[in-house]
């Protein structure tokens, strides 16, 4: 049995840009600070607390992190309210192939809290019922690049790192996957390929990626 573990933001849903826009609005409307979307790139995948606090530290502003996260969630949901499909090409086909295979289990492991991840997955037309295991950021203590979230997902799947492939878009996520001992496929939805070189394979899209491709990462063939 093998495990396929998906990150959410930037992998299953094209949400990083929306997260940046919602976060920029928080700093502008709540704290009167003009920040740039680019300021958040270094904190992609690290969880909402570090995502907001890191930029606050850069600008030397004190924020109520919990309040900022709640407000960001409100603004983020507003951006999704139009019913836009934020799914990436190839994701549904790969998920469906794994669901139909007797040899694969599916998991989600995201640094986002449940409420944000659920909104993202809904907008990406991804049903959580398709997955055997769901691990959200508010279910673990240490966020990526710490491997805890992937170790937790593997334990829930009942599989070892030798049998699991992680799909990531972020540098910190790749670091977490590799620290957990997993093979990692990186997709260039959020960072350039040269920035994701620590992954076992880097692709521009999941379109055309097969279970056989993932199996090759596991056995290094």
Q: What is the DSSP letter of 206?
A: S
Helix (H) and strand (E) counts in the chain:
8, 6
Q: Select from 80, 110, 132 the last residue of a domain.
A: 80
Which residues contact residue 17 at a Cβ distance below 8 angstroms, ignoring those fewer than 6 apart?
37
Cα–Cα distance between 150 and 87 in angstroms, integer? 23
Structural domain boundaries, residue 89: 2-14+85-219
Query: What was the pLDDT predicted at 190?
Result: 94
Residue among 108, 85, 86, 111 at smallest CA distance from 95: 108
Q: Exactly one of 9, 14, 146, 163 is catalytic; name it.
A: 9
By three-state DSSP, how is residue 201 classified? strand
Q: Exactly one of 7, 14, 146, 200 is catalytic; name it.
A: 7
Same-domain pairing of 93 and 8: yes
Cα–Cα distance between 41 and 35 in angstroms, integer? 12
| Distance spanning both ends of the chain, measured CA to CA | 18
Query: What was the pLDDT predicted at 166?
Result: 98
Task: List the chain residues with pLDDT less than 50.
Answer: 221
Q: Are 138 and 182 in contact (CB under 8 A)?
A: no
Query: What was the pLDDT predicted at 221?
Result: 43
H helix intervals, 140-196: 148-157, 171-179
200 is catalytic: no
Same-domain pairing of 42 and 56: yes
Same-domain pairing of 143 and 168: yes
Same-domain pairing of 95 and 62: no
Same-domain pairing of 30 and 102: no
Same-domain pairing of 117 and 90: yes
7 is catalytic: yes
pTM to 2 decimals? 0.91
Q: Are 168 and 110 in contact (CB under 8 A)?
A: no
Count structural domains, the chain. Answer: 2
Q: Select from 80, 96, 118 the last residue of a domain.
A: 80
Same-domain pairing of 209 and 141: yes
Same-domain pairing of 210 and 171: yes
Q: For residue 199, what is the domain's CATH number?
A: 3.40.50.1000
Same-domain pairing of 67 and 104: no
Same-domain pairing of 203 and 124: yes
């Amino acid at each position: 049995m093998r495990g396929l573990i998906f990150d959410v933001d930037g992998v299953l849903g094209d949400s990083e840009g929306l997260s940046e826009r919602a976060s920029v609005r928080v700093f502008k409307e709540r704290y009167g600070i003009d920040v740039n979307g680019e300021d958040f790139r270094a904190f992609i995948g690290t969880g909402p607390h570090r995502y907001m606090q890191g930029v606050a530290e850069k600008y030397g502003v004190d924020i109520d992190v919990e309040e900022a996260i709640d407000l960001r969630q409100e603004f983020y949901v507003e951006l999704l309210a139009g019913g836009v499909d934020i799914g990436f090409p190839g994701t549904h086909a790969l998920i469906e192939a794994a669901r139909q295979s007797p040899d694969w289990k599916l998991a989600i492991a995201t640094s986002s809290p449940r409420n944000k991840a659920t909104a993202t997955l809904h907008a990406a037309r991804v049903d959580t019922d398709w997955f055997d295991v769901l691990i959200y950021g508010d279910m673990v203590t240490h966020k990526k690049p710490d491997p805890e979230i992937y170790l937790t997902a593997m334990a829930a799947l009942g599989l070892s790192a030798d049998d699991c492939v992680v799909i990531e878009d972020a540098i910190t996520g790749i670091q977490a996957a590799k620290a957990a001992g997993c093979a990692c496929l990186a997709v260039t939805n959020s960072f350039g390929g040269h920035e994701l070189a620590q992954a076992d394979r880097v692709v521009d899209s999941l379109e055309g990626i097969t279970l056989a491709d993932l199996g090759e990462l596991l056995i290094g063939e």
